[in-house]
Structure 1
């Protein structure tokens, strides 16, 4: 059975110390004004009418059905067999077509190189057998990470308890692989937003009525090298699975 990486967020343990954000920024040299992860403060009222504060650690959800992958015209955005969603920087053109479709607003265009950036679950660390940087520094153990398909893993055991929930709505459920402790209050500021995968394309079409020709030309420009890189990447993914 292939691995399936997930992250659990125990909001009752989070103290909003920002260590996860600082470690992520240091690990990935994220430019100021942008974030790969964040902590949202959600004020709500519990069933007894008492005010509550939930601290939600957020990032790319590495969805089962990622809209960003479907929207990418070059194949740069892809999902590994272990569930991690990545961006192949050799194929990314920085077109931003993948940004709007993300219901969690987890992607941004890095101003330093023009490429699309986001949380990768610290893929290089994972492949080296280490935890994501944010999980490694979380001293309250509010963040947990592991293989949900491994019955001996902590996350698999915790998930089996059935005390976790995904950040979804009746309209938007793309299978996010971040789970929050049950009882966590959500509001409109953190709930996934229903978006059209063609928003970016429609916007560009207004500016450039020859979008189809332009997009075709763009793909043609990157075609030969892109196809070879795409084949190579698929081979690498296949070898990783085995």
Structure 2
């Protein structure tokens, strides 16, 4: 059976210790000022006037219909059969067209590599049978990761439990099949953590430019430029691989 990786976040157990963020930064040597994951703190007021704080661990949601993949002109953004949305740095042109396409704000341009960075659920680690770094270091066991298609996995069992209702961060406007679930103990999810379509989403620009041919030409030229850069990177990378294979024979 094909694996289907998902992440569960229990917002009740999260204590905002930031261990997940630190572990992720160490695992991926993330530049200062950037992060592949985060903990969103939302301050609310209860009906009786008392303060309330909700904590939402966040990262790439590895969506079934990931708009970042469609927005990527070079093909660097892609989805694996097991549900992971990944990034091929060898052919990423750093054009950033995928950045505004993500309604979860999970993508950013790495200034050191000039390629797009995002959470990959620590794909190299899970391919070795390990947990993502954030899950491995979560002291409160607020983060749980696994294969939901495996009936014996912890995530599969938890998602089937009637005692807990796990929800996704979706809206009527943005419902692209995220594979990140949250438990809030019945509390409504605040708007601050809900996904939002950005005003300069590339698809929106293209639709505008259907009416504006001059703008469409500009967008088309820009996309072709970035696509060409991505193709050149891809060709270069393939040549490197061929040379390595030839030298190894």
Question: What band does the TM-score fall into relative to the shorter chain?
Answer: 0.7 to 0.9
- Shift in CA distance, 55/214, structure 1 to aligned 2, threshold 3 Å: closer
| Structure 2 residue aligned with 1:194 | 197
Residue aligned with 2:227, SS: helix
| Structure 1 residue aligned with 2:87 | 87
2:90–2:233: 8 Å Cα contact kept in structure 1? no
| Structure 2 residue aligned with 1:44 | 44
Equivalences for residues 121-140 of structure 1 within 5 A? 121-140=121-140
How many residues of Structure 1 are paired with residues of Structure 2 in the alignment?
Answer: 229
> What is the Cα deviation at residue 52 of structure 1?
2.4
Greater shift, 120-129 or 49-58, is seen at: 49-58
> What is the Cα deviation at residue 208 of structure 1?
10
- Shift in CA distance, 11/218, structure 1 to aligned 2, threshold 3 Å: closer
Cα offsets for 1:183-205 (capped at 9, x unmatched)? 244323211002434357789x9
Larger radius of gyration: 2
| Structure 1 residue aligned with 2:116 | 116
Q: Distance in 2 between matches of 1:36 and 1:179?
A: 17
| Structure 1 residue aligned with 2:234 | 226
Residue aligned with 2:157, SS: helix
| Structure 1 residue aligned with 2:247 | none
| Structure 1 residue aligned with 2:6 | 6
1:106–1:118: 8 Å Cα contact kept in structure 2? yes
Q: Distance in 2 between matches of 1:222 and 1:139?
A: 41
- What are structure 1's unaligned runs of at least 5 residues? 231-242
1:176 to 170, 175, 178: 178
> What is the Cα deviation at residue 90 of structure 1?
1.0
> What is the Cα deviation at residue 50 of structure 1?
5.0
Residue aligned with 2:175, SS: coil
Q: What is the Cα-based RMSD across aligned positions, in Å?
A: 2.7
> What is the Cα deviation at residue 27 of structure 1?
0.3
- Shift in CA distance, 111/153, structure 1 to aligned 2, threshold 3 Å: same
In the TM superposition, structure 1's runs of 4+ consecutive aligned residues that sit over 6 Å from their partners are 200-203, 205-208, 227-230
- Shift in CA distance, 46/215, structure 1 to aligned 2, threshold 3 Å: same
Equivalences for residues 142-221 of structure 1 within 5 A? 142-162=142-162, 163-182=165-184, 183-195=186-198, 196-198=201-203, 210-220=218-228
Q: Distance in 2 between matches of 1:50 and 1:140?
A: 25
Greater shift, 177-186 or 69-78, is seen at: 177-186
2:106–2:118: 8 Å Cα contact kept in structure 1? yes
- TM (norm. structure 1) is 0.85
2:92–2:233: 8 Å Cα contact kept in structure 1? no
Residue aligned with 1:189, SS: helix
- What are structure 2's unaligned runs of at least 5 residues? 239-249
Q: Distance in 1 between matches of 2:142 and 2:214?
A: 45
Q: Distance in 1 between matches of 2:158 and 2:58?
A: 19
